[in-house]
């Protein structure tokens, strides 16, 4: 087991240090979150790189809530290995990376449940102010691609399952927020997500699906041409998406420009 981890850290260092800025916007790596956002709107991704990130109150609140629900403590590589190698399920995340479809991808999942060095659950948290029931394509594909990268890194993903948990976090009590990560992990591990959702009465929805290398690779391939310079960005056909977008006033493809 020690040899596996030593080789993994070595391969990660080589992967990160040997890249050149060959992709769109002069990037050497494509963030998984950026690729997933293409499924929402590629022009939003284009605007983020061209104009920079636009801060909004909703985005700042969402980030703060996200950090509150999934607090993180940085540990050494040695402690990480000890933590995830035990039989008892443990919670820890690491950077995922790898080459898929001609792209060098990197990302950081929200939450991973481990046992004996194997990932059992990979979970993405999505806060929302609306109905948590729908599962959006960008959120599902982001989670799938994280799973694929874990797989390509060499982890045994034979028991890996994926989940996107959408939650109206502002409506949770302070106590519920503090124990959120354990409650979700326990519900997923025990197969009792329906009971968890019922306890929170419409504030939370756990979307669970199997890990599939094929589905994740297909998602990457569908969007890789944008990063390789093989095509220009495609714009959304949804007026609602345009109206909600922080680039609405300046985007040349906006369907809902505000005066």
Q: What is the pLDDT of residue 130?
A: 87
pLDDT in tens, 150-176: 999 999 999 999 999 999 877 778 888
Residue 256 confidence (pLDDT): 79
Neighbours of 183 (CB within 10 A): 15
- pLDDT tens track for 111-134: 999 999 999 999 999 988 889 999
103 belongs to a structural domain:
yes
Residue 156 located in a structural domain:
yes
pTM for the whole thing?
Answer: 0.93
- State which residues form the domain around 67: 30-40+54-213
The more confidently predicted of residues 68 and 241 is 241
Q: Is residue 229 part of a domain?
A: no
User: Does 109 fall in a domain?
Assistant: yes
pLDDT at 102: 95
Using the predicted structure, report yes or no on whether residue 83 has a pLDDT greater than 80.
yes
| Within-domain flag for 223 | no
- The model's confidence at residue 195, banded by pLDDT at 50, 70 and 90, is very high
Q: Is residue 171 part of a domain?
A: yes
More confident residue, 89 or 175: 89
Would 257 be classed as within a structural domain?
no
The answer on pLDDT for 208 being more than 70 is yes
Residue 259 has pLDDT above 60, yes or no: no
**Number of separate domains in the chain:** 1
Q: What is the pLDDT of residue 257?
A: 61
């Amino acid at each position: 087991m020690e040899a596996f981890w030593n080789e993994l850290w070595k391969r990660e260092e080589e992967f990160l240090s040997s890249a050149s800025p060959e992709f769109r916007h002069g990037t050497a790596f494509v963030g998984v979150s950026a690729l997933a956002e293409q499924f929402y709107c590629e022009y939003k991704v284009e605007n983020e790189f061209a104009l920079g990130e636009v801060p909004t109150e909703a985005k700042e609140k969402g980030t703060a809530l996200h950090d509150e629900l999934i607090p993180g403590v940085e540990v050494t590589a040695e402690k990480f290995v000890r933590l995830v190698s035990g039989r008892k399920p443990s919670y820890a995340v690491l950077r995922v990376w790898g080459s898929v479809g001609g792209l060098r991808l990197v990302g950081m999942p929200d939450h991973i449940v481990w046992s004996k060095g194997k990932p059992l659950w990979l979970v993405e948290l999505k806060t929302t102010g609306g109905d948590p029931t729908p599962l959006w394509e960008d959120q599902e594909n982001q989670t799938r691609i994280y799973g694929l990268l874990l797989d390509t890194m060499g982890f045994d993903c034979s028991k890996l399952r994926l989940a996107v948990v959408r939650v109206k976090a502002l409506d949770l009590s302070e106590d519920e927020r503090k124990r959120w990560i354990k409650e979700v992990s326990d519900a997923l591990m025990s197969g009792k997500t329906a009971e968890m959702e019922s306890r929170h009465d419409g504030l939370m929805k756990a979307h669970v699906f199997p890990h599939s290398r094929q589905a994740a690779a297909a998602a990457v391939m569908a969007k890789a041409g944008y990063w390789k310079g093989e095509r220009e960005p495609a714009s959304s056909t949804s007026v609602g998406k345009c109206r909600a977008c922080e680039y609405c006033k300046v985007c040349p493809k906006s369907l809902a420009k505000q005066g």
